[in-house]
Structure 1
Amino acid sequence: MSLAVEKEVNPHFEDFLFDWRCKTQLLVGGYGSSKSYHIALKILLKLLEEKRTALVVREVYDTHRDSTFSLFCEIIEDLKLGGKIKTSSSPMAVKFPNGSKIIFRGMDKPEKVKSINNISLVWLEEGSEIKYAGFKELLGRLRHPTLDLFMIISTNPVSKENWVYTHFFIDEENERTVLDDERLYKERTIILNEVYYHHSVADDNLFLPQSYIDQLEEMKDYDPDLHRIARFGKFGVNGKLVLPQLEEWEHEDVMREINSMGHALFKNGMDFGFSDSANAVSRMCVDTEKEWLYVWDEYYTRGKTDPEIADDLAAMGLRKTLMKGDNAEAKTIFYLQQKGFRILSCYKLTRIENTKKMKRFKKIIISKNCPNHIRELKTLTVKIDTRTGKEIPGEFNIDPHTFSAMWYGLDDYEVANVKGYNAKRK
């Protein structure tokens, strides 16, 4: 079916509208950039041209009504196609005269997603809100015997811990780099590994009033994280940092400082895990005069048995090194003691107490030879209660195994508090 339509669009999206070279298309952008509008327009034009079934997905089904579904209705009316393209609100759907249709689903009702067949085009709106398992499930739903398949993902760039970033950009934990996001911000449009990347900001939307952009600019005065996301469409740390005093140093510089230290106190801590959680050892040195903490060596692994861990620690020369371990893992600690390791259970301080202690160090310096400490701690933020918007004390955006190992190793060391009491060693 061929219909001639005229529509004024933002120049930054002109090429995107008719570019179907890549199966996967990722649109990252700030608030008001018009990425969702142009995705909806692109899908409408494609379905007018070819008979297809498109699936539009958000994490919560009911949020479609005032977002994606409303957007399609607006564009259909603007193109004066209401007499040809029909919309229904219950259930939400868009039907074309050539047999094409758009259906809307939410990942909060997974059974509704699994019942769909012959989907050749999927749009994930607010992809960062959808779980990674949901994304992979939708990839499995994308199938058609004859038509080319397409997955379009749109998102505001939130935390670098989000699956969108680790899948399409950089996954530090697994040492996997697909694309440096800074390159995307500079080049704006990139095709790499059969993925079409597109970046946009409010300035790309020529239909926005200046007052809206001014409003985005004002965010830098009261919410710098949101300003980075909304105004510039960039990934980063999203939330309040737990350890803002953390620094990364070259290993040689760390060891030079430790070796010249007149008030050095060495500490070692271990956290235990298996498959989902990690085994982590943190080797630390405290400058008791400056109240600086150095992390100079680490052990970090998953899926190993106690005998395998014992062999690893022995190979690191830790058999005679005093360590403190998680008191909840008495069986593992006893096993390591039987193997000749000097490991003891830590005191039972709470997560809140341990976190407060770590925040009292004036500096926490991590050697670049400790990539897992850097990965977990440099973006560690306080967890927020989504219902109240308030911080949850002692809870974080991830489960930081290295942080726990540091707690255990320092459990008998008291850092000087803000009232000026001297630090003491027990």
Structure 2
Amino acid sequence: MMIEKEVNPHFEDFIFDWTHKFYFLVGGYGSSKSYHVALKLVLKLLEEKRTALVVREVYDTIRDSCFALFEEICIEMELDDHIKFVTSPMQIRFPNGSKIIFKGMDKPAKLKSIHNVSIIWIEECSEVKYVGFKELIGRLRHPTLDLHMILSTNPVSTSNWCYKYFFKYKKNFILDDEELYRERVVIIKNTLYHHSTADDNLFLPKSYIEQLEELQVHDPDLYRIARKGRFGVNGKVVLPQFVEWSHEKVMDAIMEIRSPIKRAGMDFGFEESYNALVRLAVDHKEKILYIYWEYYKNKMTDDRTAIEIIEFKNSGEQIRADSAEPKTIQYYKQMGFRMRAAKKFPGSRSQYTKKIKRFKKIICSSNCPNVIGELKDLTYAVNKDGEIIEDEFSIDPHTFSAIWYALDDYEVSDLKGNVTYE
């Protein structure tokens, strides 16, 4: 069957490339990435007998998005007489026996009945939970055919799982997203990365791009996402003065402080939360906070944790800890640790946060990946009106709590030089 179809040049190689297992497409609004993924699948399933699975987080969103997009493409290519669209349950059947089935991750039980899927497309993958992504990898299997997974998304926060998995998170570095923005297409091992913006869609009206440009003034965060197609931090950053230095540089800087104030703080956790223990050094004169050591684990009983942080017992170093766990603090005391409860009071979260924000610089050692992962891009939570909530954050930052406790009774000067007693 001879098929002619005009496509955007930036996607031409992508459409015919089936040499990789993963295809990660990120782009701004109107870049045509979803259109070309759908076209890629139609061409492949016409060529080979395969079963493809198309997934979104919510099943009810598929009919007006992915399913409608496939239908539009097949009509444009005059294939609608050859390809059958079934609406209940949603399915597309090809003349050679290929088929596309559609599922939502909000109904995961229905994934268990799927067999011999050799291609999966996760549309708006940033909306799918990480556990769902892992489940889908397990569903991608066929005895003879090559396996492929295509993930497409508008860029979201760097705290999203897809950024951490495909780009960088803590010590797991795969690709600098800035390199992708420069090169537009990058191949790393078995993954092809593809970046696109509205400029790559030659079929867009000029007025649409002008509309995207207007976002630069009114909504910078959305402009970065919609116009530039770039990951970043969504919302107001809690600690804009936070920077990462090499461990050696941090320790050298601490050595230069005439009278460093050294502290240790601990937040307790078990199942979902973490035991977070940090060591800090304060340059009181320069108003610089250094974070140079961390312990970060969960699902650890107190006796096992006590063994792993035995150095604090041996050195007699004091740990200021979460006062909400008096039994835990008492246990560590009985085991010979110098541990005391940090003060907690109504509004203490907000007050502790304001205290940390008064430092001119917060410098963290590269040896503290969990501190960096939680605090570098930490943003405030917002209410239904979009206003920030000063004592709530985008994640539950256990290392931030540990820092609060460590500085429990530290007297910090504000930027005007006044001493504030917390």
Alpha-carbon spacing, 1:305–1:320, altered in 2? closer, same or farther (3 Å): same
Counterpart AA for 1:161: S
- Aligned residue for 1:77? 75
Task: Indicate yes or no: 2:197 matched with 1:201.
Answer: yes
Q: Is the contact made by 1:263 and 1:289 (CA closer than 8 Å) also made in structure 2?
A: no
Q: Distance in 2 between matches of 1:146 and 1:261?
A: 64
- Pick the aligned partner of 1:423 from 413, 419, 422: 419
Partner of 2:227, secondary structure, is helix
Q: Is the contact made by 1:413 and 1:424 (CA closer than 8 Å) also made in structure 2?
A: no
Q: Distance in 2 between matches of 1:242 and 1:201?
A: 29
Task: Indicate yes or no: 2:234 matched with 1:226.
Answer: no
Task: Indicate yes or no: 2:210 matched with 1:214.
Answer: yes
- Aligned residue for 2:93? 95
Give the drift of 1:218.
Answer: 2.6
Q: Is the contact made by 1:127 and 1:155 (CA closer than 8 Å) also made in structure 2?
A: yes
Q: Distance in 2 between matches of 1:346 and 1:19?
A: 58
**Percent identity, aligned pairs only?**
59
Q: Is the contact made by 1:357 and 1:414 (CA closer than 8 Å) also made in structure 2?
A: no
Alpha-carbon spacing, 1:284–1:205, altered in 2? closer, same or farther (3 Å): same
- Aligned residue for 1:142? 140
- Aligned residue for 1:110? 108
Q: Is the contact made by 1:269 and 1:283 (CA closer than 8 Å) also made in structure 2?
A: yes
Q: Distance in 1 between matches of 2:133 and 2:309?
A: 38
Q: Is the contact made by 1:319 and 1:341 (CA closer than 8 Å) also made in structure 2?
A: no
- Aligned residue for 2:399? 402
Q: Distance in 2 between matches of 1:76 and 1:352?
A: 56
Q: Distance in 2 between matches of 1:92 and 1:367?
A: 52
Structure 2, unmatched stretches of 5+, are none
Alpha-carbon spacing, 1:36–1:314, altered in 2? closer, same or farther (3 Å): same
Partner of 1:413, secondary structure, is coil
Residue correspondences, number: 420
Structure 1, unmatched stretches of 5+, are none
Give the drift of 1:256.
Answer: 5.7
Give the drift of 1:354.
Answer: 2.6
Deviations 1:176-205 (A, max 9, x none): 222332332222223322222222222111
Q: Distance in 2 between matches of 1:85 and 1:78?
A: 13
Give the drift of 1:171.
Answer: 2.5
Question: What are the within-5 Å matches in structure 2 for residues 269-418 of structure 1?
Answer: 269-274=265-270, 276-315=272-311, 319-349=315-345, 350-384=348-382, 389-413=386-410, 415-416=412-413
Q: Distance in 2 between matches of 1:384 and 1:40?
A: 36
Q: CA RMSD in A?
A: 2.6
Q: Is the contact made by 1:313 and 1:319 (CA closer than 8 Å) also made in structure 2?
A: no
Give the drift of 1:17.
Answer: 1.0
- Aligned residue for 1:13? 11
Q: Distance in 2 between matches of 1:97 and 1:297?
A: 62
Q: Distance in 2 between matches of 1:141 and 1:166?
A: 22
Q: Mean Cα displacement is larger for which, 11-20 or 363-372?
A: 363-372
Q: Distance in 2 between matches of 1:324 and 1:158?
A: 36
Give the drift of 1:337.
Answer: 1.4
Partner of 1:66, secondary structure, is helix
Alpha-carbon spacing, 1:120–1:384, altered in 2? closer, same or farther (3 Å): farther
Give the drift of 1:130.
Answer: 0.3
Question: What are the within-5 Å matches in structure 2 for residues 156-171 of structure 1?
Answer: 156-171=154-169
Q: Is the contact made by 2:312 and 2:337 (CA closer than 8 Å) also made in structure 1?
A: no
Deviations 1:366-423 (A, max 9, x none): 33443332221101112346x66554443322221110101112222354568x6932
Deviations 1:286-314 (A, max 9, x none): 44455443324333344444344334434
Counterpart AA for 1:213: I
Query: What's the TM-score once normalised by structure 1's chain length?
Result: 0.89
